Homo-oligomer: A and B are copies of this chain.
Amino acid sequence: MISTQAIPWEERPEGCKDVMWRYSQNPIIGRYDTPTSNSIFNSAVVPYKDGFAGVFRCDNKAVQMNIHTGFSKDGINWDIEPDPIVMKAGNTQMIDSDYKYDPRVTFIEDRYWVTWCNGYHGPTIGIAYTYDFKEYFQCENAFLPFNRNGVLLPEKVNGKYCMLSRPSDNGHTAFGDIFMSYSPDMKYWGEHRPVLKVTAFEDSAWQCLKVGAGGVPIKTDEGWLMFYHGVIKTCNGFRYSMGAALLDLEQPDKVLYRTQPYLLAPAKDYELAGDVPNVIFPCASLHDEEGKVVVYYGAADTVVGIAFGRISEIIEFTKNNSI
């Protein structure tokens, strides 16, 4: 959904030749920005009314993971609800949830759909919808556990809802490819297809261990533009960076191009240190009619940062540097 409000923006710094660049005032959301939070990161935003709304991952000081509503006029300064979202029953009465994290949000047809990693006998993909970011209606989980990073396309394709996800296991999963699944009704899912796999170490090491969809893909003439995270394992743990891919408009489980180099990798203090060092984890983006885009990402599993770019340049880069 193209934002008709002004999205956050800074021009590319002088001398910078990168396709994307960070906001000079990062992080825009601090770890203690709600009264009980330990960290706020990996969060999703959309244009809403005359500003923006979002669903934010807030781990509290017991390090319980949950999602909170937030509103903003400018996309940078956010009012985040101190209490987590309370769900009502949507297309099912079974709305159990041990924990919620890493939300994504998109508008389809008449409502906003939220997906997240839902704790239901293991991590799986939770789904809810809201019309107003006040009442949320939780639906059946999309899949069996173990799954993470469930992301919807922002419209139906061939009459079906399209969900990207990354099948996982029950721990700090050391593998992970992106799959697509389809549903006629947001309740039953099938036609599972691989989309984007990890690369060979020699080809592109930053994405050789795991990949997972970032924010809701953006529809462009060249295909669905999907930001995603890739992971490498060093002797001191995992490092999460961000790349981009273009998916076929009609057959969105088909990758047309993907970046061999990353677009953004941990390099700033707030990305290198925190609860989980060396993490850039995109969960959302906003774009406007001019083709400007701002990506929201969790940094070090602790705070929220943003980075800017132009869709046309990103597409160009992705096509020219595809693996």
Knowing A188-B188, A192-B143, A232-B63, say if A277 contacts B276 (CB, 8 Å). no
With an 8 A cutoff between CB atoms, is A10 at the interface? no
| Chain A residues touching B, range | 35 or more
Interface of A (DSSP majority class)? loop
Q: How far is the CB of A36 from chain B (nearest CB, A)?
A: 7
CB contacts (< 8 Å) of A99 on chain B: these are 202
Instruction: Give the distance in Å from the alpha carbon of A65 to the alpha carbon of B204 in the complex.
Output: 10
- Which of A1-9, A102-110, A265-273, A284-292 is the interface stretch? A265-273
Report yes or no: A191 in contact with B277, Cβ–Cβ below 8 A: no
With an 8 A cutoff between CB atoms, is A60 at the interface? yes
Report yes or no: A273 in contact with B276, Cβ–Cβ below 8 A: no
Q: Which of A60-82 contact B (CB under 8 A)?
A: 60-65
Knowing A36-B261, A63-B204, A193-B94, say if A237 contacts B235 (CB, 8 Å). yes
Beyond A63-B205, A65-B205, A273-B277, list 11 extra A-B contacts (CB 8 Å). Answer: A63-B262, A92-B191, A99-B202, A140-B190, A143-B144, A168-B169, A184-B188, A189-B190, A234-B276, A266-B275, A275-B278
A→B interface (CB under 8 Å): 17, 31, 35-36, 38, 59-65, 92, 94, 98-99, 119, 121-122, 124, 140-147, 165, 167-170, 172-173, 175, 177, 179, 181-185, 187-194, 197, 202-206, 232-239, 260-262, 265-267, 269, 272-278, 301, 323
